[in-house]
Amino acid sequence: MDEFELIRRFFSRDAASAGVVVGVGDDGAILRPTPGHDQVHVIDTLVEGVHFPANIDAADIGYRVVAVNLSDIAAMGATPRWMTLALTLWDKDEQWVEHFANGLYSAAAAHGVVLVGGDTTQGDAVVATVHMAGEVGQGSALLRSGARVGDAVYVTGTVGDAAAGLSLLRSEVTDDELVRRFLRPDARVEVGKALRGRASAAIDISDGLVADLGKLAAASGVGVEIDVDRLPLSAAMLSHYDQSSAQQFALTGGDDYELCFTAPAGAVAEFGGITEIGVVTGGERIVCRRDGKRVEVDTAGYRHFS
Amino acid sequence: MDEFELIRRFFSRDAASAGVVVGVGDDGAILRPTPGHDQVHVIDTLVEGVHFPANIDAADIGYRVVAVNLSDIAAMGATPRWMTLALTLWDKDEQWVEHFANGLYSAAAAHGVVLVGGDTTQGDAVVATVHMAGEVGQGSALLRSGARVGDAVYVTGTVGDAAAGLSLLRSEVTDDELVRRFLRPDARVEVGKALRGRASAAIDISDGLVADLGKLAAASGVGVEIDVDRLPLSAAMLSHYDQSSAQQFALTGGDDYELCFTAPAGAVAEFGGITEIGVVTGGERIVCRRDGKRVEVDTAGYRHFS
């Protein structure tokens, strides 16, 4: 089987959808933007052995490479629309490609995203890159740079679960809610859209809460104080780890793909599924406190090349 | 140096440009499409050791990964606008990244394309993926599927040079016009735009003339006859190879990134730099003839995974 057959067979599902004039199969896809909207473009890569263990199910890789892009779109408050895939494989394993495609389409379909093109190439390890384009009313995208002193700081869902799950996965635990949080992150697309006009700044948590909130604070030129005891921890997390370890995962663990955002008091009062964890200040970038006293944390987060 | 610094330092040149609301630095780029236009989205990957030898200058890799995407945009008759980069590296070599960035920006600037975002990851070999978005008036993009029986078949420039150049490169010849054709392909963006409303179908030559023209013919449901003696061969090619070898490179060699297109008689009469090489028929997909007699050629072209 050659690459053309691979692509035809597994990545040519019907792309008929609003805004898709021509999908997979020509030199490029032809898309029709919605009038009066800005576009959000994001690109993210997963590398075997770096972002995921080599032995996980290809369906999880396909799902995850879509989810991480959905999460970036969500952090901008946009509606995800179209994606293209660049897939580098180490071998021509037909079943692997089928599983990968199933995971990819499953994550995309859940949010109405259509695969409109791609490129499949040969390489020594799996490198999966997805580019995704979303749409948002002109001028209404969420940025990292709008946080103001006095705003409250929130996160969606629970944090630290994915990093704890990866840790369990490395200990060969595979059937666990925390592992599922790592393998199948739910991008907060609906929350992101609901935050337009309410949140002052937003970012998704991919490198860890402290690291990513630090980027938001830097982009906004503000500081943030986090109350460590207010961090939302899952029951699954607390069944595996003591509170101190759980808080460490919550502060520094990556791959959660929850949203972290700032908003003026009362702007998100009716929102469920979010937790207020701190406040925007004019002081240091990130200060963590427990019972009012400073807590030292490793703020490096997850970085490549370091 | 970690990835954030790499990105900041080398891939954060000013993206201020028409249509760029927010460039590199947030969760995604915010772009403002031109009203009344369709978008063309393309994605292409270059893998070290597969698409280029491991020892070539990083500037050539950066240039080339942009050029191959420009070529897909050109084949659709669109104006290239914005691109994102996913770069996987085997190591944190600062000079390599700088050279790569210089080549990338050089190819992009030549056609007014702006880098608006990216993702840098660690891996065992260089994998460079670029997604590019172009714009074209609604409904006026060139497709592969419009060729009609009786149309003439044309190519731009000269063909076979890049494959001959790669062959020389493998023999350690580096300073040669043919090698330059491989390393620094010129995407035919201006020709592509000029073909809107004139060409009936178009494709760019990445896998080889016969292979790519075969895709155009299949998409259009037609056949094509090529007169082998009309293939445009460069002086550089004919200084290295006899006519028969040169024609073989021209028919099956990939990486030229010239355009191949069909048009009704007279539609492109005033165009310079193109050569009529054959005719669209109702017969077999691809027939090559010399002095009216059939010539057998290997039609596989360049394929991965085969």
Predicted complex ipTM: 0.91
pLDDT of A93: 77
Q: Could you give the residue range(s) of every CATH 3.90.650.10 domain in chain B? A: 152-292
Q: Is A135 on the interface with B (CB under 8 A)?
A: no
How far apart are the C-alpha atoms of A146 and A138, rounded to whole Å? Answer: 17
CB-CB under 8 Å, A44 with B29: no
Write b or e for each residue in B46-66: b if 16 or more Cβ atoms lie within 10 A of its Cβ, otherwise e.
bbbebbbeeebbbbbbbbbbb
Selected residues 161-200 of chain B with any CB under 8 Å from a CB in chain A: none
Domain with CATH 3.30.1330.10 in chain A: 3-137
Check if B51 contacts A (Cβ < 8 Å): yes
What's the CA dihedral at A197, A200, A206, A208 to 10 degrees? -150
A30 part of contact set with chain B, CB < 8 Å: yes
CB contact under 8 A, A3 and B305: yes
Sequence-ordered list of residues with C-beta below 8 angstroms from that of B287, at least 6 positions apart, any chain: B223, B224, B225, B226, B281, B294
Mean pLDDT for B78-101 is: 90
Q: Does B26 touch chain A (CB under 8 A)?
A: yes
The span from the CA of B205 to the CA of B259, in Å, is: 6
pLDDT for residue A303 = 45
CATH architecture of B152-292: Alpha-Beta Complex (3.90)
Cβ atoms within 10 Å of B133's Cβ, excluding its own? 29
The CA R_g of chain A, rounded to the nearest whole Å, is 20
Confidence class of residue B259 from pLDDT cuts 50, 70 and 90? very high
Which segments in chain A show pLDDT lower than 50?
A: 1, 301-306
Q: Does A218 touch chain B (CB under 8 A)?
A: no
Please report which confidence band the pLDDT of residue B92 belongs to, taking 50, 70 and 90 as the band edges: low
- Asked if B117 reaches chain A (Cβ–Cβ under 8 Å), the answer is yes
pTM, entire model: 0.93
Q: How far is A1 from chain B (nearest CA, A)?
A: 7
Please give, rounded to a whole number of angstroms, the shortest distance from the CA of B239 to a CA of chain A: 33
3-class SS at B215? helix
Averaged pLDDT for residues B9-22 = 80
Q: Does B305 touch chain A (CB under 8 A)?
A: yes
What is the average pLDDT score of chain B? 91
CB pairs below 8 Å between A and B: how many?
222
d(CA A208, CA A253): 5
By the 10 Å C-beta count (0-12 exposed, 13-18 middle, 19+ buried), B38 is classed as: buried
Question: What architecture does CATH give domain A152-295?
Answer: Alpha-Beta Complex (3.90)
pLDDT in tens, B63-83: 999 999 999 999 999 999 999
| Nearest CA distance, B177 vs chain A (angstrom) | 27
CA distance A155 to chain B (A): 16
In the CATH scheme, what is the homologous superfamily, with its name and number, of domain B3-137?
PurM-like, N-terminal domain (3.30.1330.10)
pLDDT tens profile B141-186? 999 999 999 999 999 999 999 999 999 988 888 889 999 999 999 9
A7-38 as b/e: b if 16+ CB within 10 A: beebbeeebeeebbbbbbbbbbbbbebeeebb
Q: What is the pLDDT of residues B216-257, one digit of tens each?
A: 999 999 999 999 999 999 999 999 999 999 999 999 999 999
* pLDDT reported for residue A305: 40
pLDDT of residue A69: 98
